[in-house]
C-alpha cells in the first residue's frame, strides 16, 4: 500500500509541475484552459480535504507543514497521518 501512496504523491507532484509550467508558458489554445481548470478543481478538492480532516492536524508537531502537504498531495498525505484511537462504545 505504501507503493500506491508514494506513486500517487509522485503523480500529483508531476501534475502540479504541469500546471506551473502551463502558467509560465501557456500550452496551445484549448489545452491551456483545460489544464488551468483541472488545476483549479484539484486545488478546490485539496482545500475541502483541509476542512474535512482538520481535526487530525491538532496535536501534531508541525501542523502547518501537514496542511501544506495536504494542499500539495491531498489524500495521499492524509492517509499517512496517524489516526487517533477510536472511543470504545461498550
Q: CA 79, CA 85: separation in Å to the nearest integer?
A: 15
Residue 2 grid coordinates: 505504501
Tens-level pLDDT at each residue, the chain (90 residues): 888 888 999 999 999 999 999 999 999 988 999 999 999 999 999 999 999 988 888 888 888 898 999 899 998 888 877 765 554 565
Region at 25 (left for phi over 0; alpha for psi -120 to 50; beta for the rest):
beta
Helix 29-52 crosses helix 63-73 at what angle (to 10 degrees)?
140
Residue 52 is placed in which grid cell?
474535512
Computed on alpha carbons and rounded to an integer, the radius of gyration of the chain in Å comes to: 16
The model carries a pTM of: 0.81
56: exposed, middle or buried (Cβ count in 10 Å: 0-12, 13-18, 19+)? middle
Amino acid at each position: 500500500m505504501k507503493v500506491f501512496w508514494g506513486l500517487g504523491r509522485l503523480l500529483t507532484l508531476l501534475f502540479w509541475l504541469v500546471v506551473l509550467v502551463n502558467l509560465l508558458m501557456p500550452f496551445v489554445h484549448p489545452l491551456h484552459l483545460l489544464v488551468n481548470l483541472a488545476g483549479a478543481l484539484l486545488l478546490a478538492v485539496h482545500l475541502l480535504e483541509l476542512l474535512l480532516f482538520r481535526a487530525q492536524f491538532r496535536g501534531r508537531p508541525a501542523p502547518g507543514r501537514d496542511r501544506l502537504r495536504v494542499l500539495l498531495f491531498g489524500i495521499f498525505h492524509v492517509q499517512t497521518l496517524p489516526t487517533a484511537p477510536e472511543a470504545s462504545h461498550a
